[in-house]
Amino acid sequence: MNLLLVLLDLRAKSAQIEKYEQEIHRRTVEIEKKTNEVDRLNRQYEKLTVNTEEEGGRSNGPLEATIVNLQREIGTKDQESAELQRRWVGFQTELVALVTKNNSLTERVARQKSERTVLEQRRARLDSKYAQNRREIHELERSMSAMHTDMTRLNTLISKNTSLQGQLTNDNFNLET
């Protein structure tokens, strides 16, 4: 029963590992999308800044505002990307821990299976020995019954012999007298 529980626990852990792997894959795809978006925004920013020249540190108006907004978006996307990467590392760490636990449970199950096999073989030997002892007891009981029958027959014959001997003695005594 304990082995069944361990197997069920292993299956649950395997399902959880698979779920984490899918989540990690999904997060990796999200990171790639956000990285591509940051690259696109950087290219767009470069296109906008190539055509503009600052004169004495002054702003060029709406283009400068666009640049500031794009830089803010890039910063936000970088932060989101860093957060996703941090979470991804956390998931990877958890996955490694689960795989390690899964491996130890697998080893434990294998060890318990081998112990169970040894115990089953031992039980089979003991069952065989028990059956043999039962047969020997049955044979001894049959032999005892036969001996009781022989003893009864011998006692009957001894009794007959004694009574015949007594009768013979009386007959001899009567003949002599």
Planar angle of CA 28, 88, 41, nearest 5 degrees: 50
Q: Name the nearest CA neighbour of 2 among 121, 115, 127.
A: 115
Phi, psi (rounded to 5 degrees) for 59: -80, 150
Which residues, 6 or more positions from 17, have their beta carbon under 8 angstroms from its beta carbon? Answer: 95, 98, 99, 102
Q: What is the pLDDT of residues 137-163, one digit of tens each?
A: 999 999 999 999 999 999 999 999 999
Q: Is 60 exceeded by the pLDDT of residue 59?
A: no
**pLDDT band for position 60 (50/70/90)?**
low
Question: Looking up tokens 């043999």, which residue turns up?
Answer: 132
Amino acid at 108: R
Mean pLDDT for 28-51 is: 84
Mean pLDDT for 36-46 is: 85
H or E segment at 46? helix 2-50
Q: What is the pLDDT of residues 67-105, one digit of tens each?
A: 889 899 999 999 999 999 999 999 999 999 999 999 999
pLDDT at 169: 93
DSSP 139: H
Q: Name the nearest CA neighbour of 59 among 47, 67, 51, 50.
A: 67
